[in-house]
């Protein structure tokens, strides 16, 4: 069999699950030229579809992410959307090596602190509080790349001809 390289396999795939914050809109423009493929989702439902479709190397997850687009109060459910997404990622056979959680500090500490504790139990790499500065998230992503990928883009195993779609 002939080994076929997927043109996307040389890229770092980053899931960016957010509610449309300014820093999240800027990030793909800065990272795409560096070889980072940003897959954006605005709900848990959309994020789950992406993580089952593409390999994700690093995930940035807004902890206040709604379960579905248009949900008015993401905290109204028993578990916040970000926690649900972290649990779904944990079930994956091939998980992202680094997960960055972004939490909205406008919440009541009685609600926010248990969310932080749960996120840390689910092995997030870093937790950032909003408002997030672009330099701050870039620094965390750089550290994640150095720690989990020795500063190199992740290498995907070569696909065989039977694997190509």
Residue-wise pLDDT for 102-121, tens only, equals 988 766 777 778 888 898 99
How far is the C-alpha of 89 from the C-alpha of 94, rounded, in Å? 9
Assign residue 124 the CATH number of its domain.
3.40.50.2300
What does the block give as tokens for 18?
């957010």
Cα separation, 35 vs 13, in Å, equals 9
Residue 165 lies in a domain: no
Residue 71 lies in a domain: yes
Domain count for the chain: 1
Residue 20 belongs to a domain:
yes
Residue in 124, 148, 136 with CA at minimum distance from that of residue 61: 124
In-domain check, residue 99: yes
pLDDT tens profile 135-158: 999 999 999 999 988 877 776 544
Residues of the chain with pLDDT under 50: 1-8, 74-78, 157-160, 163-165
Does the residue 108 lie in any domain? yes
Average pLDDT, the chain: 83
Is residue 148 in a domain?
yes
Nearest by Cα to 46 from 80, 83, 15, 3:
15
DSSP state of 48: H
* Boundaries of domain holding 54: 3-160
How many other C-beta atoms are found inside a 10 Å radius of the C-beta of residue 13? Answer: 22
Question: pTM higher than 0.85, yes or no?
Answer: no
């Amino acid at each position: 069999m002939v080994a076929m390289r997927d043109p996307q396999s040389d890229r770092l795939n980053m899931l960016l699950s957010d509610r449309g914050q300014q820093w999240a809109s800027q990030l793909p423009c800065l990272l795409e030229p560096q070889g980072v493929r940003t897959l954006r989702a605005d709900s848990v439902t959309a994020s789950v579809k992406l993580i089952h479709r593409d390999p994700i190397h690093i995930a940035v997850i807004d902890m206040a992410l709604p379960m579905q687009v248009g949900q008015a109060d993401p905290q109204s459910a028993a578990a916040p959307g970000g926690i649900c997404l972290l649990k779904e990622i944990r079930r994956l056979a091939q998980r992202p090596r680094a997960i960055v959680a972004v939490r909205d500090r406008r919440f009541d500490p009685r609600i926010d602190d248990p969310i932080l504790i749960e996120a840390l139990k689910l092995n997030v790499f870093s937790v950032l509080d909003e408002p997030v500065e672009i330099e701050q998230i870039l620094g965390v992503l750089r550290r994640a790349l150095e720690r989990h990928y020795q500063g190199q883009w992740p290498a995907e195993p070569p696909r065989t001809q039977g694997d190509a779609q």
